[in-house]
Structure 1
Amino acid sequence: MHHAADLMLRQLIVLVVGCFAVLTVLAQPSDWSTLFVQAMRLKDAGQFDQAAPLAEQALVLAQAQYGPENRSVGLVLNLLGIIYTEQGRYAEAEVFLERALRIYGKWFGETSPERAGVLNNLGRLYFKWGRYAHAEAILQQALAFFEQAYGPHSHRLRYSLERLSEVYQAMGRIEEARRYAERAAQLPPPPQASQP
C-alpha cells in the first residue's frame, strides 16, 4: 500500500514537472529573431530593462544556431550595445559594440554603411561615458564612411553630424559644434516610414 502511494506521488511530480517544462517552453520563444524583434520594440519604447534580457536570450540562441561570427549575431550584439549604453553599462556595451564592429567588417566590409551604423552607436557610447576624444574619432570615421557610401548631402549623415555637434559642445569647441549642427539641419529629412 505504501509502495503504491509513493509510486502515485512520483508520477504526480513527474506530471507537474513536465507540465511546467512545457509551459516554460511555450512562454519563451525559441527563435532568436522573435526575441530580437521584441527587444527592439521595447528598446524603441525606452523600456531598456525589459529589452535587455530578451536581447541576451536572442544572442545565446543566435550564437547557438549560427556560430559566434555570423552577421545575425552581430545584429544582436549591436542591439545589446545600444541597450547597455542606455542603462549606463558602458564597459559591457563597449565589448559588444566592438565585437559587432569586427563581425560587420567581415560580412559587409570595413568601410560599409552597415559598419558605420555600429560606429555611430560606439560614438554615442563614448559620448555618454564622457570619453569625448574617443567619441569624436569614432563619429568622424562613421561620417566618412556614410559620405563615401551616400554622398555629402544624404539624410543618412544626419545622426553622425548631430552627435559630433554634441561632442564638440561638450568639449567646449563651440564653433565646430555650431558648424556640424548647421550642416545636419541642411540635410533633407529622412523618408517617413509608410503607415500600415
Structure 2
Amino acid sequence: MEYPGNLFVVAAPSGAGKSSLVKALLELDAKLDVSISHTSRAPRGQEQHGREYWFTSEEEFRAMAARGDFFEWAEVHGNLYGTSRAAIEARMAHGDDVVLEIDFQGALQIKQLFPYAVLIFILPPSWDELQQRLNRRGDTAPEVIAKRMANARVEVAQAQNFDFVVVNAVFDTAVFDLKSIVHAQRLKYAAQRRNRSAVFKALDLP
C-alpha cells in the first residue's frame, strides 16, 4: 500500500555515525518524525525508555513478534530490535514523513514489504576511521569492538542493495547529503501530485 507520507530507512555499521546524523537531520527538518524502535537490550548511559528506544524484555519482545506487531525485527549483536507496524502505518497514513534507524536486515525486510521506502546507507570513510570511532567511545570492551568490526564488513557489503549511500567523512557534508535525499524524494512526481494537488488539477496533470 502507498501512503501519503515518505518512509526513510537509515542503516549503517556501528560507529559510522548514523544516530548523530539522523539527530542533526531532525533538527533541520521539522516535517520529519523519527520512529522509536523496540529492543531487548538494556539502556546505555543516559538512554531513556520511550526516547531512544522502547526497552522490553526478550520474552515480551518475542511475544510481540509472534503477534505480528513488528514491521520488521532482527537480532543484532546478540540483542533484538524491532519496528512497530501500527506506529509507522498510522504516521504515514496521516501524511507524515518518518525516518527509521535500523540495521541492514530490517531495512531490506521493510523494502520487501514497502517498496516505496527510501533506503539510505551510511558508510565510514575507511576501516581505520571506523575502528578509531569505536575506540573513542571509551565504553566498549576490546572484544566487543573486534566483533563489531567483523560485523561491519558484512554490513558494509550490503550498501549495494540500498537506494542511496552517504559517506560520513565530514559530518556537516554528510548531514547536507542526507537532507538532500529527503528533499529530492519530496520533489518526485507522485509526492508533488499528493502535496500540490491544486496545482496539478489546474494544469490538467494526471
TM-score in same-fold range (> 0.5): no
Q: Which has the higher strand share?
A: 2
* TM-score normalised by L of structure 2: 0.29
Query: Using CA pairs below 8 Å that are at least 6 residues apart, which structure has the higher relative contact order?
Result: 2
Q: Which has the higher helix share?
A: 1
* TM-score normalised by L of structure 1: 0.30
Structure ID, larger Rg? 1
